[in-house]
Amino acid sequence: MERVHGRHGRSPTNTGSGPFVTGRTAEGCGKRWAAEHEGEEPVPPMPYWKWEPSACRLEEVDEAKFCRVMKGRKGLLFAGDSLTGEMIDTLRAVLRATRVKHVKLKMDTYTACDGELTLSWYRNDYLDTRLDGFDTPRCEEPDISISQCMTYDATLSQYDTLLVNAGAHRQLGGVEAYGSMIKTAAESLTASMRRLHGDSAILVVRNTVPGHGESFDRMFTGPVNLDTALDLVEKGPPEFEWTTIRDKNTLLEEAFDATHGRTLLDAYSPTILRADSHASATDGLHYCLPGPIDHWVVLLYNILLEKVNSDNK
């Protein structure tokens, strides 16, 4: 599973998503950094590291570039858990997007690129595509579980670019149950995107990064090596079952087979080394924003750029 082909380099400035402008992690990260530098004027910028892959060169992303690569497309939908929510938080900061719909912890919709692009996040911790047992598939309903914001054709028809993920949350039945559910989701989502959008459909599958134990003491210390990272995963709270995520990632990639048109966004390889930058003393899973998730947006942009360039040949 460990595909670590690159290194993290200390960057003098954050060229990613800007200062702490998002609500999910600004309080934990920004306040602690300010407290550690109380009395200093000005407060120094937080340390920032960028991933440098060894096998290729990645194009940096900015608002103009991302809008250009999405020009003419219907929209971009993120379906997944709260880390997927952090990813759209990062992207909307890059795009200076305007939020037009919000259901707390469940969904967000934004417009960007001078109103030409719609991007949304629908929370679904397990990519559950079944209707059985749920009263409604509507994300707008305030009483629906935060993990059951489901995506069906009526939603997918509005978005020809789909990014999905599931795996960070444990579920009854363990890894076996995850494998069964993710296989069903892959079949449903792949078929729907192909039927609704044909060759224009873009399906991106992000693998999952486990949390790290002892994260509070490492918030600003920078990346670690792989052996240390895996040791810290094992030191996480056992009830979170972070050690099962490598097996879940294998099942995820098998279910969303590349021959069926999906592209893998490998968040795991660079981010497993980021035992730093976690959001709080009790949260070794989510990240400060900006931070490691900035690179996920860079990866997404490069995936879209390659797809568009390939289609134009």
Question: pLDDT tens digits for 122-154?
Answer: 988 888 766 544 444 455 555 545 555 666 667
Strand pairing category for 98-103 and 107-112: antiparallel
Q: Which domain holds residue 155?
A: 6-311
User: How many domains would you assign to the chain?
Assistant: 1
For tokens 């009263």, what's the residue?
135
Quote the pLDDT of residue 17: 44
Answer yes or no: is 1 within a domain.
no
CA dist., res. 60 & res. 294, Å (int): 11
Quote the pLDDT of residue 30: 78
Greatest mean pLDDT among 16-25, 81-90, 98-107, 170-179 lies in 81-90
Measuring CA to CA, which residue among 235, 247, 159 is closest to residue 200?
159
Reduced to 3 states (helix: H, G, I; strand: E, B; else coil), residue 286 is strand
Q: Model confidence over 87-105: pLDDT tens digits?
A: 999 999 999 999 999 988 8
Helical residues (DSSP H) of 43-173, grouped into ranges: 63-70, 82-95, 153-156
Quote the pLDDT of residue 289: 87
CA dist., res. 182 & res. 273, Å (int): 26
**Does the structure show a pLDDT above 90 at 302?**
yes
**Does the structure show a pLDDT above 60 at 184?**
yes
Query: For residue 92, what are its two tokens?
Result: 């909307």
pLDDT over 90, % of the chain: 57
Burial class (CB within 10 angstroms; exposed 0-12, middle 13-18, buried 19+) of 280: middle
pTM: 0.91
Answer yes or no: is 256 within a domain.
yes
Residue type, 313: K
Q: What is the mean pLDDT of residues 225-251?
A: 96
93-107, 146-160, 270-284, range with the lowest pLDDT: 146-160
CATH number for position 135: 3.40.50.1110
Q: Determine how many CB atoms are found less than 10 A away from the CB of residue 3.
A: 12
